[in-house]
Amino acid sequence: MSDYKDYLTRQVMLGKMNRREFLGRAAAAGILASTAGTLFATSAEAQEPKRGGHLKLGLEGAAATDSKDPAKALSQFMFVVGRNWGDMLVESHPTSGAPVPALAESWEPSADASTWTFAIRKGVKFHDGKELTIDDVIKTLQRHTDEKSESGALGVMKSIKEIKADGDKLVLTLTEGNADLPLLLTDYHLIIQPNGGLDAPDAMIGTGPYKVASFEPGVRATFERNADDWRTDRGFVDSVELIAMNDATARIAALSSGQVHFINRVDPKTVNLLKKAPTVEILNTSGRGHYVFIMHCNTAPFDNNDLRMALKYSMDRETMVERILGGYGKVGNDFPINDTYALFPEGIEQRAYDPDKAAFHYKKSGHSGPVLLRTSDVAFPGAVDAAVLYQESAKKAGIEIEVKREPGDGYWTNVWNVQPFSTSYWGGRPTQDQMYSTAYLSTADWNDTRFLRPDFDKILLEARAELDEAKRKDMYRTMATMVRDEGGLILPMFNDFVNASTKQVKGFVHDIGNDMSNGYVATRVWLDA
Amino acid sequence: MMESGPMTGPVPTDGTADGAHPRSADLSGVPAKPNPAEAKGEIDGTFWRRFTFRRPLAALILQRLGLSVGLLFAVSLMISGGIEALPGDFATTYLGQSATPQAVENIRKDLGLDKPWSERYLSWLGGAVQGDFGTSWASKNSVGEQIGKRLGNSLFLAFFAAIVSVPLAVGLGMLAVQFRNRLPDKIINVVSLAAISLPEFFVGYLLIMFFAVKFGVATFPATVYDSMSLTERLSAIALPVATLVLVVLAHMMRMTRAAILNVMSSAYVETAELKGLGMFRIIARHAAPNAVAPVINVIALNLAYLVVGVVVVEVVFVYPGMGQYMVDAVTVRDMPVVQACGLIFAAFYIFLNMAADIIAILANPRLRHPR
């Protein structure tokens, strides 16, 4: 059923179905009208777009050190740059997160989900006029999986064993079955380049809706509309300008004075002031990113589950969302998945702030003395404030937390994933499987809670190859409960992506995939004069 | 580094008009003190002494140039050591939280980070001596080309801030002396002190709020790029220039005022006054040349600040200058870029200080013609 719903949504996205037809078929399939309505609404917002104009975006995250090679794209700025000039094989649906065709027209898994065949779209032209071939696709994927690769997508590509062509089809063979493979190919590093970018990784030649006109790292990037774009439902403005603005106040000033149309990373502390400006609209999208307090399950004193439980019950989640996120977020439940993921296991009880239970577990753990928590403002915006708030709420349960502020420089190398109790953040992943495999599998490089559980690993691998969705959902429920009740993760909040635009900007699509409409903001919006 | 050591040279070190200022000793002591580390000193001790005696200015410049090469070398060594001492290397900091061991390993191998520190430094030095500063590790662009653009932007901003602020500061300083302890003096003092007391980012935000957001008369952001015309550039930098002027004005103005007032209490000014000369003429003809040395030094320091120290203003106004470039590079430990930026900054300080000393000597006849 879920598949069929996704299929319908996809048809709407591709413009192959109108509202009446969609509702009719959805009703016939027994999908609630309200659900169907929201599904349609996301794409219906894109009706009657106006073409033309010059779109200016003021974005945080650019640096003079940014590389033009998509394999090395890291910053928010380069993320949007890449989305403008390039295409992946697969995209994810803005609200359901399901894979939708991009340069790959369709795909078929083998019965055990370990071999996948992709049909590549025909008649697509690169910006330099050359036609996209299967060879370009294969070379691109090889460049990102090569053992000498410096690609940011190396982690997600590890499971691909063989990349080859079968006539004009792409065949990927995996080391083990993976029902979510198409979603892995939505990774923003995996832009298909001519000859895989082996000749000129920095050329910024792709198949995207905009051609790069100029690029100065850490300063500015400008784009012209690609007249030969293979899609007509995107790229509405004639030209796009991205301006690097790393200062939050500068972004707000530029937006409220009308110098730019769109900004990212609005500080939760000032969002309420910005909201009052008559020309400005706040665009917040709930997402999968989350702010975390992480304990190493194998390091004393955190190897004691009672102490971990005591610390979990000491967290006042509502206050965190209110104070740290300014209300732009949702409370977390100590496992890294929320209802934006497909196959979210509903009905797991929400953990609440409970000083009595915390005190009970703390006493049972036999621990005494202060617990050292390391934090820094680079861990997430407001991390130091959050640590102090946490210190206060834990004090009421009789637990003493010592907050140590670490230098932001080198935090990711020296504190995160090194020290036994620290603050951090996670961006979301396209699937539950990928989130758990990245940070909760025993062998994962980034297992930052040292959650070493063979029984958990076993279920994770089984779920990965399971094509029956009901069974899979049950497995995900078991896994979520294990992490929630036995893991080293304290997850107080999922943060919203908070952007803002002038009222002139229309058609912004709230995309659960990632910040700034999953990076597609410039390709999806248009300017209403 | 030259303040220590006895003043043994032929140049008089005491009795100069600005003897009260601590920098004067350094100033006049320089050309006379033979430096053992100085290569030229070994050529011919007596020749050097005679040369120093006859052409003190040329000797000073030669000695300073020689020393600055040594200084730049020391700076490069310190930068290299500093980057080494920072936690994490390029591979781990560049990849940040998304680092995987294999990607880190690949980058290290690619850049030769697995080799010992001394070997890496020497190979960089080998290139730098020949004028090749290499390519940025992160963006793979030529450092020289990148810096050329950024330095041009920084100098452009600094130049306009300087041609507004220096005459303004000196003029206001003289004005303050003429009306000392009266209303104009007090107004100048209060306003300039208020401007220097506010942090520069706050001054910047205030200007943005009023001139860009409320009145909408100024251009913001101040981003400049290649395809801009000169007038567009000038309009873009109006607000940052105004901010910088406000920030550096008070320092120079107050030093001008203090130095002139100091001279004004001396006997020859009294004589001039008794001769019946006008106040402004006394200040301009008699007091100012003798007060120039400390003022020039303050101006030089402020000019150096305008080139190398304005990273906060760059960030607030989104201006692509050197400061932001270097900070970005340090954040990811991009050694070739940090080295090049550091050396340029050091060269600016050395050059501006040298220029200040030379101008001070030229302005003072007693230093120009030593006994």
Distance of alpha carbon B222 from its chain centroid, rounded? 23
Amino acid at B72: L
- What is the pLDDT, as a whole number, of residue A114? 92
Q: Is A137 within the bounds of a domain?
A: yes
Residue-wise pLDDT for A343-381, tens only, equals: 899 999 999 999 999 999 999 999 999 999 999 988 888
CA distance readout (Å), B14 to A448, B22, B25, B367: 67, 12, 8, 11
Chain B residue with CA closest to A248: the answer is B316
Test A155 with B140 for CB contact under 8 angstroms: no
Q: How many other CB atoms are there within 10 angstroms of residue A134's CB atom?
A: 18
- pLDDT tens track for B252-262: 898 888 888 88
Which domain range does residue A41 map to? 1-45
Query: Which among A63, A66, A250 has the least Cβ separation from residue B316?
Result: A250
- Read off the pLDDT of residues B197-250 as tens digits, 9 standing for 90 and up: 888 889 999 999 899 888 888 888 888 888 888 999 999 999 999 999 998 998
A50/A45 Cα distance (integer angstroms): 12
Cβ distance A445 to B226 less than 8 Å, yes or no, reads no
ipTM of this complex prediction, to 2 decimal places: 0.73
- Do the domain assignments include residue A202? no
Contact check, Cβ <8 Å, B96/A74: yes
Query: Does the beta-carbon distance from B332 to A65 stay under 8 Å?
Result: yes
Q: How many CB pairs under 8 A join A and B?
A: 133
The model's confidence at residue B22, banded by pLDDT at 50, 70 and 90, is very low
Residues of A with Cβ-Cβ distance to B149 under 8 angstroms = 216
What SS3 class is residue A432?
helix
Of B137 and B13, the structure prediction assigns the larger pLDDT to B137
Cis status of the peptide bond prior to B56, with omega within 30 of 0: no
Q: Under DSSP, is residue A378 helix (H, G, I), strand (E, B) or coil?
A: coil
Contacts with B60 (C-beta within 8 Å, 6 or more apart), sequence order: B30, B31, B357, B358, B361
Give the pLDDT confidence score for residue A30 in this predicted structure. 45
Q: Do B100 and A154 touch (CB under 8 A)?
A: yes
Residue A65 and residue B334: Cβ atoms within 8 Å? yes
Residues A16 and A33 in one domain: yes
Closest to A83 (Cα-Cα) out of A14, A186, A157, A172: A186
pLDDT (mean) for A413-442: 89
Whether B213 and chain A come into contact, CB under 8 Å, resolves to yes
Domain of A258: which CATH number? 3.40.190.10
Distance from CA of B334 to the nearest CA of A (A): 8
Residue B123, both tokens = 């190979």
Neighbours of B301 (CB within 10 A): 19
Residue finishing a domain among A170, A197, A224? A197
Which of B318, B319, B325, B328 to mutate to test binding with chain A, by most A CBs within 10 Å of its CB?
A: B318
Indicate yes or no: CB of A249 within 8 angstroms of CB of B221.
Answer: no
The answer to whether residue A273 neighbours chain B at the CB level (below 8 Å) is: no
SS (H, E, C) A5-70: HHHHHHHHHCCCCCHHHHHHHHHHCCCCHHHHHHHHHHHHCCCCCCCCCEEEEEECCCCCCCCCCH
Q: Which of A64, A245, A410 sits opposite B318 (nearest CB)?
A: A245
Q: Would you place residue A270 in the very low, low, confident or very high pLDDT band (cuts 50, 70, 90)?
A: confident
Instruction: Note the CATH number of domain B144-367.
Output: 1.10.3720.10
What pLDDT score was predicted for residue A360?
95
Confidence of residue B97 (pLDDT cuts 50, 70, 90): low
**pLDDT-derived band at A35, boundaries 50, 70, 90:** very low
Shared-domain flag, residues A71 and A124? no
Element spanning A494, H or E: strand A489-502
> B34-48, B96-110, B331-345: which has the highest mean pLDDT?
B331-345
| A444 inside domain | yes
Q: What DSSP string describes B132-173?
A: ---B-TTT--BHHHHHHHHHHHHHHHHHHHHHHHHHHHHHHH
Contact list, A261 vs chain B (CB under 8 Å): none
CA distance B33 to B13: 12
pLDDT digits (tens, 9 = 90+) for A73-123: 878 899 999 999 999 999 999 988 889 999 999 999 998 899 999 999 999
Same structural domain, A397 and A320: yes
Q: Which residues contact B184 (CB under 8 A, 6 or more apart)?
A: B175, B176
One domain for residues A326 and A353 = yes
On whether both A260 and A172 belong to a single domain, the answer is no
Mean per-residue pLDDT of chain B: 80
A71 with A91, same domain: the answer is: no
Which amino acid, residue A65? Answer: T
Chain B stretch 323-362, residues whose beta carbon is closer than 8 A to a beta carbon of chain A:
324-325, 328-329, 331-332, 334, 337
B328-348 as b/e: b if 16+ CB within 10 A = bbbbbbbbbbbbbbbbbbbeb
Res. B98 pLDDT band, cuts 50 70 90 = low
- Phi/psi at A517 (nearest 5 deg)? 55, 45
Residue A124 has pLDDT above 90, yes or no: yes
CATH assignment at residue A157: 3.90.76.10
B313 contacts chain A (CB < 8 A): no
> In a 3-state reduction of DSSP, which class is residue A92?
strand
A73 lies in the same domain as A7: no
Q: Is the peptide bond before B36 cis (omega within 30 degrees of 0)?
A: no
Give the span between the Cα atoms of B32 and B53, in whole angstroms.
8
Q: Is residue A385 part of a domain?
A: yes
Using a CB–CB cutoff of 8 Å, tell me whether B317 touches chain A.
yes
Whether B87 sits inside 8 A of A416 (CB atoms) is no
Output the domain CATH number for residue A436: 3.10.105.10
Q: Name the region of A199 (left: φ>0; alpha: ψ -120 to 50; beta: rest).
A: alpha
Interface check B143 vs A, CB under 8 A: no
Measure B142 CA to nearest chain A CA, in Å.
Answer: 12
Q: Which of A157, A4, A11 is nearest to A71 (CA)?
A: A157
Q: How far is CA A355 from the centre of its chain?
A: 33
Is A381 among the domain residues? yes
Count of the separate structural domains present in chain A: 4
Q: Where are the domains of chain B?
A: 57-130, 144-367
| Residue A395 and residue A370 share a domain | yes
Cβ–Cβ of B103/A149 closer than 8 Å?
yes
Residue A309 sits in the same domain as residue A407: yes
In chain A, residues with a C-beta closer than 8 Å to the C-beta of B140 are: 67, 69, 202
Q: Residue B100 has what pLDDT? A: 73
- Which residue does chain B place closest to A66, by CA atoms? B139
Name the region of A398 (left: φ>0; alpha: ψ -120 to 50; beta: rest).
left
Enter the pTM of the model. 0.80
Segment A243-268, tens digit of pLDDT: 999 888 889 999 988 899 999 989 88
Between residues 123 and 152 of chain A, which touch chain B (CB distance below 8 Å)? Answer: 147-152
